[in-house]
Amino acid sequence: MVFSSLSFLLLFLPAAVVLYFAVPRRARNLVLFLISLVFYAWGEPVYVVLMLFSTVVDYVHGLLMARWDGRPAARRAVLISSVLINLGLLGFFKYAGFALTALNQALSLSLPVPKVALPIGISFYTFQTMSYSIDVYRRKCPVQRNIISFGCYVAMFPQLIAGPIVRYVTIAQELDCRRETWDQFYAGVKQFILGLGKKVLLANSAGLMWSGISAQSAASLSALTAWLGILAFAFQIYFDFSGYSDMAIGLGRMFGFTFPENFRYPYTARSVSDFWRRWHITLSTWFREYLYIPLGGNRVSVPRNILNLALVWLLTGLWHGASWNFLVWGGYFGLMLILEKFVYGAALKKAPAAVGWAYTFLTVLVGWVFFSFDDLGAGARYLSAMLGGGAGFWDAAALRLLLDYGLLLTLCAAASTPLPAAWFARLGARRPRLHAVLLGALLVLGFALCLTYVVDAGYNPFLYFRF
């Protein structure tokens, strides 16, 4: 029997937790490092070597910067070496085929295109190891002299393959000195089950709806069906990715680590810039800290600022995948952010909150069309259907979708806001015993439903594993 990634995680986790807490505290980094390698090897047995190579490269480069602490030129050369090696690996495995194919098409060449499988999570762990080298160079964090502790940071299985992107400086102290507590462990279990529920019960259900709609010819879709489809995709990708992030953060808590928040109710944003302060926060932070600010950030002329924003967002799109649709998606959001900052941002701030939210949400939904279709032509046809260029504006099929999926979409919309959590927190303040009983029942019931779904369902993808 072939297990899905989620099935394997659920089977793997109890043994990992028992083994971790069974060993003396001084051996826990080693155990976590080893079980992380086993977890990664289940999906990518060959590319474990690549991840270990990246680990050794940046570990050694950190030691070299410490050794040549008083030699600025040498430290800078070491940093450049680290960045070039990391980007070289990422470029070869993720972008070489795309670049050579584009070059062949543009210049009518016949250069051989290597067929290399994309290592799972390479974009995530490469950015993490690069952040270590850069922060050591900037003297924002101490050099890690224990290679097991550094390997534990790079390979840590909870967030290895789909984030959040954890900068070394964030958990440097916890790597060397942490105290796991039962309260922290319980908080981690709660967040893990919450994330599991978001992924299995909401994301997978919305994904089935989107799969059914996107498989149809755009010419056969009414505008209402097309809008319902991209709404389903918006909920799928949000609950899939934020669900995995919650699972990773929860697992980190169980092992004594505090990983950064990665989502903060992005679909409640009232501007595109606000959306990107709430969506995949660790990626946005990485690009801001290591690219946008070094390029000058906001402290440059308007033309240069526009160029910086355009570059950052084109690279953000490219980070998600070696495909033209991701470049278009990144360029689209770069353009919207530039317009918002320099053209109508002030007016948007003065507009009613509902106007800002509607503008932002519609902008994001259009962006998800570019993101979801690898074929730009298919994406353009889908956008046309959303504007009524398919089978009219509504039809019986759209009404059936509303009847079949109306409750699911309503639940997803509610869960995308802070209202359920706020209501539950108020209940805890007013009736703590009822809150405790209800919370326990929800956790047990939710976990049981998720297990049932994972065992029975064949549709169980993690969208961000491919990035």
Catalytic residues: 320
In the structure encoding, which two tokens stand for residue 40, read together?
């990664």
Q: Are 464 and 162 in contact (CB under 8 A)?
A: yes
DSSP assignment of 71-122, as one string? -HHHHHHHHHHHHHHHHHHHIIIIIHHHHHHHHHHHHT--------PPPTTH
SS3 388: coil
Backbone phi and psi for residue 401, each to the nearest 5 degrees, phi listed first: -60, -40
H or E stretch at 142: none
In sequence order, the 6+-apart residues with CB closer than 8 A to the CB of 87 are: 126, 130
Residue whose C-alpha is closest to residue 259's, from 267, 250, 268: 250
Q: Are 40 and 48 in contact (CB under 8 A)?
A: yes
Contacts 24+ apart (CB under 8 A), 239-242: 239/198, 239/199, 239/202, 239/203, 239/206, 239/412, 239/415, 240/199, 240/203, 240/207, 240/461, 240/462, 240/463, 240/464, 241/162, 241/163, 241/280, 241/463, 241/464, 242/195, 242/198
Q: Are 133 and 55 in contact (CB under 8 A)?
A: no
